[in-house]
Each structure stands twice: as C-alpha cells, then as structure tokens.
A and B are shown apart, each in its own frame.
Chain A
C-alpha cells in the first residue's frame, strides 16, 4: 500500500495521510479533467464533421490549459441579491462531494484512498452531498433559472439514485462484499470472471446470471448517467431553456469548480461501474509483469487497465451525449419510475434466487 510507503518515507502518519488524500486530485482528477474537456470538444466536433479546437498547440492540445488560465483570471462576481454565505459554500460542497467518492475507488491493488468495508456504501452516501450543494447553489443564486435547474437536478438525482442502489444491492448480494477492493480482487483472472459475465460462480450459474448482469449493467449505466446530469438527462442545465441551470450566476473559479466536479463525477461514476461490473483494475488477460517476473509492473498495468476502462465508459457517455436529444421532465421521471426501478427490482430478486441455487 502506498500509505505505508509514504509513512516510512516521512515518518509522520498525519503528513502521509494528507499526501495520500491529495494524490488522486493532483495525479488523476485535474489531468483527467484537462484531457476530458479536450476529448469532449474533439469527439463532439468530429461527430458533427467539424474539427474542434485547432489553434492552441498541435491540433488544439493546449486549449483547455488556455481556458483554465482564462477562468482563473476572471472576476469573481457575487451579485447583490445573492445569499453570499451559501453562494460561496455551494461550489466547494459540490466538489467535495464528488472528490470524496474517489476515496473508496481502487485505482490499483496497491492504491486505494480508504480501504473500508463499506466502500460502495460510502460512495453512494457521500455523493448525496452533491445534491445539497446543487440545491444550495440554485437557492443562493436568487435567480429563476438557477432555482429551476437546482430543483430539477435534485428531483432527478434522487429518483435515479434508486435504480443505481438496487443494482449495487444485487451485486452486493451476489458477491457478499461492499468493499470495492475485495470486489475487484474477486474478479481476478480472466475477463470471464468479471461480474458482467457472472463473476466467479460455477458454469451453470454463470450462464444463468449473464443476461441479468447485462440488464443490471445497462440500468446502472443509464441511471449513473442521469446522476451526473449529462445529456440526454441534462435537464438541470438545459442550455436552451435554463441558460445553464444552477451555475448560471457563477463565474471564474467557482464556475471552474462546478465544471471540475462535473468531470470528476463523470469519471467517478464510470470507475464505479467499471469496478462493479468490468473487473475494476483487473486485466482481462493476465499481466505482462507476472509473465516476465517484474512484480512492480503489475500495479502500473492495473492502473492503466483501470484508466482504460474508466475513460472508455466516459467516451461512451460522450458518444451518447452527441447522439441523443434531451428528455422532457415527465419523460425523465417515466424512465426512472416506470422502467428502471421495476426492472432493477425484478432483476435484484432474480439474481438473488440464482445465487441461492
């Protein structure tokens, strides 16, 4: 574990804990946000037969850095009618909510922020903070668009949390663990051991489980997509109706924090789906490090596999975003309450019955 290494190096448990806590932010979230914003613009551009950013650096590679420098320089506007305290807390709360989720995500077998047995439970609980932050931002902005956006966001996130939790519950039932680290370790070996393909059960149970795991995978993918407020579920920040929803009134660094939180959330959600269904950091076919006898290579490979899976799912999110139009509010609720929740509930029962077999 990295914590022990740093603890030996610095000799201070507090300092090493702080360093370990900051690692995902500086090593992962910030670079990921930089790359993801660039990717998003490029992918969207090419899907619409455009080129996207081309001016800053080779094919616009430095565009996001230029954007961030611009955002830092901008004036931090607080309007007179804003509730200043809540207005200032909200972006921090939203970012903390999405950042705290990274604590329980296992990046490799040697690095996991907090190795707790309630990992997935912690993630689901702590991302609830995001709803509070969004509501706070909408209320404190004192702006009709912000408030409408925040209300929609709260309604949407709360209703889509149910199918997510039901699918997570079915996996917890199947594997008997809430610790994402043990969950990933259980899916070791080859890709047919992934939970998507029935986990580490016998062949008969595996074959029975596969269709229901597939349904669960699709449901959790759709509902987590809705939880991070992305198209086709982006009605909280619907540009054509609500200017930009709950962050209409924000500018400069506070807006950047919402933005960063959104991209951190996108990856967190994809990472959770990957850890639950796609074997987390496990390679689909053996490790090169084990083959040539270099133990240290394994964890680097694991990190690469984890990033590939996460970014792959993020790319599918982008692909969906530039394909589908936005849902209406009533359609959004229909999808959640009439389709996803009953199906995931039936799915939960069936998976439970198969596991008892």
Chain B
C-alpha cells in the first residue's frame, strides 16, 4: 500500500521535474543557424576547395605526386629559347608552359598534402565549400590559362625547335 502511494508521488514529481526543464528550454535562444543567410565563422586553417594561381605555377608536378588520390593531372610543354614566361612572385624563373592543370574535386579528399610541397605556394585552400554539381564531370576544374590554340601552338613550336636543332646538328656534322 505504501509502495502504491509512493509510486503515484514519484510519477507526479518526476513528470513535474521534466515539465519544468522543458518549460525552461522554451526561453533558451535556439542554436539553429539559418544557414544560407547566416554562416558560422570558419576556422582559420579550414580545408576546402583548392585554388591554383597559374601566374606562379612553374609546372613542377610536385603537387600531383604528393596527391594520395591522384586527382591532380598536370601536363607541361618545354619553352623554346627566347620565350619569356616571366617570373613567379618569389623570384623563380618559369621554364614550362603548363598546358593542363586539372583537379578532379570528385576525387579530392581535401588533405592539403599538395599544398606543402609547392615551391611557389601557388596551390592553396580557399574558403569556398559550396560547389555541388548535378554532373560529376563538372567537378573537374581546369586551371590552365592557355587556350586550345595556344597549347597546340606551343607544342608545334617545340617540335619545330627540336627539328631545327636536329637539322642544325646534322648540318654541323
């Protein structure tokens, strides 16, 4: 009999305690963030989409070799003597035309391993994290600044240069 009434008492007191807690929470400001309008401050070293500053890229291929998932593919064409490719921002002379610099963000695992080996610090992480696409192919970003014609021209020029040198060699013999 005693247990019976103590059960009733426990039931009401525990329900009351619970109700007090939920009532208190009615007045606690919500933790929801209205995402597209309000955004959280990103941490300082966040890792998101990569960006390549092609003005500084010397086409050394170190980032592609560091990549654990092989999402960076680089193709380069040697410059011919007389070409002026300019200098990078930290004073290195560029010697290669970067005809292809593709990063496949569908494969990228955002590990930042490609950023550290870069001698000119031209590949780095940005704070862009909204780049979803309906088509997977659209996640392949092409960073090379050269147009198709320019690429073909560079290749042809190199071929011509080699041929001339060969002919030169033959002529000298």
Contacts and interface: CB of A to CB of B under 8 A. Distances in A.
Interface in A317-341: 319-320, 322-324, 339
A46 to B, nearest CB: 5
Interface stretch (B23-31, B94-102, B120-128, B151-159): B23-31
Given A323-B15, A324-B18, A46 B34 contact: no
Contacts of A81: none
Contact of B26 (A46, A51, A54, A339): A46
A352 B18 CA distance: 35
Contact of A48 (B23, B25, B34): B25
A319 B30 contact: no
B19 A323 contact: yes
Contact of A50 (B8, B23, B32): B32
B19 A50 contact: no
Given A51-B34, A54-B34, A339-B8, A320 B28 contact: no
B41 interface: no
B22 A50 contact: no
Nearest to A316: B19
B18 to A, nearest CB: 4
A47 interface: yes
Interface in B21-58: 21-23, 25-26, 28-32, 34
Interface residues of A, number: 15
B32 A323 contact: no
A65 interface: no
Contacts of A349: none
A324 to B, nearest CB: 6
Interface string A49-79: 1110010000000000000000000000000
B32 A47 contact: no
Interface residues of B, number: 16
B38 to A, nearest CB: 11
A50 B33 CA distance: 9
Given A49-B28, A339-B8, A322 B22 contact: yes
Nearest to A334: B7
A45 interface: yes
Contacts, number: 37
B154 to A, nearest CB: 52
Contacts of B25: 46-49
B34 A323 contact: no
A323 B18 contact: yes
Contacts of B31: 49-50
A356 B34 CA distance: 63
Output the residue of B8, B19, B21 with the most chain A CB within 10 A: B19
Interface string A139-175: 0000000000000000000000000000000000000
Given A324-B15, A339-B8, A319 B32 contact: no
Contacts of B30: 45-46, 49-51
B11 to A, nearest CB: 8
Interface string B5-21: 00110000001001101
A324 B12 CA distance: 12
Contacts of B22: 47, 319, 322-323
Nearest to B16: A323
Interface in A5-53: 43, 45-51
A43 B23 CA distance: 10
B74 to A, nearest CB: 44
A46 B30 CA distance: 7
A104 to B, nearest CB: 31
Nearest to A46: B26
A46 B32 CA distance: 10
A51 B32 contact: yes
A43 B29 CA distance: 13
Contacts of A324: 15, 18
Interface string B129-171: 0000000000000000000000000000000000000000000
Nearest to A321: B22
Nearest to B7: A339
Contacts of A322: 22
Nearest to A342: B4
Contact of A319 (B8, B19, B29): B19
A322 B21 CA distance: 11
17 contacts: A45-B30, A47-B22, A47-B25, A48-B25, A49-B25, A49-B32, A50-B30, A50-B31, A50-B32, A51-B34, A319-B19, A320-B19, A322-B22, A323-B21, A323-B22, A324-B15, A324-B18
Q: Which 10 A-B pairs have the closest CB atoms?
A: A51-B32, A323-B18, A323-B22, A47-B22, A51-B30, A49-B30, A50-B32, A323-B19, A47-B25, A46-B26
